[in-house]
């Protein structure tokens, strides 16, 4: 949510930003907010005037009664009662305007960073740079589901019976490798100065609407029936929500945290669910990172954060690239975002394994997270980034460490979490 002062003072900038995001249907919201804001401020002034008149009249009543002028005192009491009725009506009007302004402001997208490339959708995202040389081996690499099945590590048929499409059983050494990746990700982030946390896996609706747009919520979140609770789609939501309505001391910044959680997503949309493999699922696990920092530091942290994901995957022999998200692919709260994509030697293309975002003060405004300083309170900036989401991340690790005999070499950094195991062999 942007500052309403920006809409008052520079509505053309806000409209141009909406156009660059190809959301022309939202253009009328700007003028509606301006008109409602005008009415709201008029109502506030009227309320202030009524209260001032009421206080002035009320102060006269005691004096009149004391001087024996009861009739005049009764007349003034009647005026005060009339003012109270008018105030009650005016306060309802103020509340109505405030709610209508907020409902529109929540739909107006955040102002993008000038460096964001302009494009209609993810097909126009821009490759920035590559890390590691993509390798196409001389032998055929099977579909990752076939590799894992031959390793005795996957049972989607049973998961279909228990839970339906979009779920899975991981078994044996593959399940162990999955957990090794998460354990390594945890220690990797701790060693990079982040505080480890395990957050709540359900959050209330006021936190959901504080961290994401309504459109994202409808497409992603599972609601608990009969409860004001949603299953998290990423632990960033509950981690940022941890600071809701808090005033943080300036000297406590930056706050850098890394969190583990299971994640649950509807995955509604054009992509659909992958029946066979482990790429797009209803349930997965994730190591996330968040930063709360001073506004002037947020872009520096943005660049540090996505590079952490790059280095994480490179340490497991996975070539990756950074892909800049274009304006049409940028979620409404974000000012800048990029994906980290892993190389798939089977498909001979990259696929997304992480996403890094700078949301400036949008989440902080929605959730009321402020910084306390000598010069007054102000909103901080929030950022989030995927360390690894798995089993999707597992696909890149397995394909890039697959051997011609059907075995998978365990990356050296994961071996301490695998009891020293160097290779996972096919089950005979």
pLDDT at position 269: 47
Per-residue pLDDT of the chain (428 residues; tens, 9 = 90+): 899 999 999 999 999 999 999 999 999 999 999 999 999 999 999 999 999 999 889 888 878 887 888 888 888 888 989 999 999 999 999 999 999 999 999 999 999 999 999 999 999 999 999 999 999 999 999 999 999 999 999 999 999 999 988 899 999 999 999 999 999 999 999 999 999 999 999 999 999 999 987 777 777 899 999 999 999 999 999 999 999 999 999 999 999 999 999 999 987 544 555 567 898 899 999 999 999 999 999 999 999 999 999 999 999 999 999 999 999 999 999 999 999 999 999 999 999 999 999 999 999 999 999 999 888 999 999 999 999 999 999 999 999 999 999 999 999 999 999 999 999 999 98
CA 178 – CA 413 distance, rounded (Å): 13
Side-chain half-sphere of 185: how many Cα atoms within 13 Å? 29
25 DSSP 8-state letter: G
Q: Tell the CATH topology of 4-105.
A: Helix Hairpins (1.10.287)
The residues facing 289 across adjacent strands are: 258, 385
Of 319, 312, 311, nearest to 137 by C-alpha is 319
CA 136 – CA 301 distance, rounded (Å): 34
pLDDT at position 72: 86
pLDDT at position 395: 97
H helix intervals, 21-132: 27-66, 70-105
- Token readout for 414 is 């994961």
Of 394, 108, 401, nearest to 279 by C-alpha is 394
Query: Under CATH, to which class is 122-424 assigned?
Result: alpha beta
pLDDT at position 268: 53
pLDDT at position 63: 82
DSSP string of 363-394, one letter each residue: HHHHHT-EEE-TT--EE-EEEEEEEEEETHHH
pLDDT at position 126: 97
The residues facing 257 across adjacent strands are: 195, 290
Contacts of 403 (CB under 8 A, 6+ apart): 409, 423
CB atoms within 10 A of CB 342: 24
84 DSSP 8-state letter: H
Residue ranges covered by each domain of the chain: 4-105, 122-424
């Amino acid at each position: 949510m942007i500052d309403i002062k920006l809409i008052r003072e520079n509505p053309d900038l806000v409209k141009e930003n909406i156009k660059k995001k190809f959301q022309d249907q939202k253009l009328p919201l700007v003028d509606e907010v301006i008109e409602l804001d005008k009415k709201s401020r008029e109502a506030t002034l009227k309320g202030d005037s009524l209260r001032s008149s009421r206080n002035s009249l009320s102060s006269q009543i005691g004096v009149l009664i004391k001087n024996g002028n009861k009739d005049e005192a009764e007349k003034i009491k009647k005026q005060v009662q009339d003012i109270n009725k008018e105030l009650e009506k005016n306060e309802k009007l103020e509340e109505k305007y405030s709610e209508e302004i907020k409902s529109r402001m929540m739909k107006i997208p955040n102002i993008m960073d000038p460096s964001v490339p302009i494009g209609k959708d993810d097909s126009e995202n821009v490759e920035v740079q590559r890390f590691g040389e993509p390798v196409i081996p001389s032998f055929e690499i099977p579909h990752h589901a076939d590799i894992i099945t031959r390793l005795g590590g996957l049972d989607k048929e049973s998961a279909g019976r228990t839970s339906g499409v979009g779920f899975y059983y991981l078994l044996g050494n593959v399940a162990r490798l999955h957990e090794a990746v998460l354990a390594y990700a945890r220690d990797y982030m701790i060693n990079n100065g982040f505080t480890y946390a395990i957050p709540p896996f359900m959050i209330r609706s006021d936190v959901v609407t504080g961290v994401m747009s309504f459109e994202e919520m409808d497409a992603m979140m599972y609601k608990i029936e009969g409860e004001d609770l949603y299953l998290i789609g990423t632990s960033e939501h509950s981690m940022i929500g941890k600071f809701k309505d808090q005033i943080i001391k300036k000297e406590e910044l930056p706050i850098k945290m890394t969190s583990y959680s299971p994640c649950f997503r509807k995955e509604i949309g054009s992509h659909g669910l992958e029946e066979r493999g482990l790429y797009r699922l209803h349930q997965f696990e994730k190591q996330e990172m968040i930063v709360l920092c001073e506004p002037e530091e947020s872009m520096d942290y943005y660049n540090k954060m996505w590079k952490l994901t790059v280095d994480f995957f490179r340490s497991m022999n996975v070539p990756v690239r950074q892909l800049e998200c274009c304006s049409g692919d940028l979620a409404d709260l974000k000012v800048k975002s990029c994906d980290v994509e892993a190389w798939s030697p089977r498909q001979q293309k990259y696929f997304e394994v992480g996403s890094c975002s700078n949301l400036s003060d949008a989440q902080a405004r929605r959730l009321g997270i402020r910084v306390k300083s000598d010069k007054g309170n102000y909103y901080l900036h929030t950022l989030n980034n995927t360390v690894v989401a798995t089993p999707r991340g597992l696909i890149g690790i397995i394909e890039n460490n697959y051997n011609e005999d059907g075995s998978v070499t365990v990356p050296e950094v994961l071996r301490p979490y695998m009891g020293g195991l160097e290779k996972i062999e096919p089950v005979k």
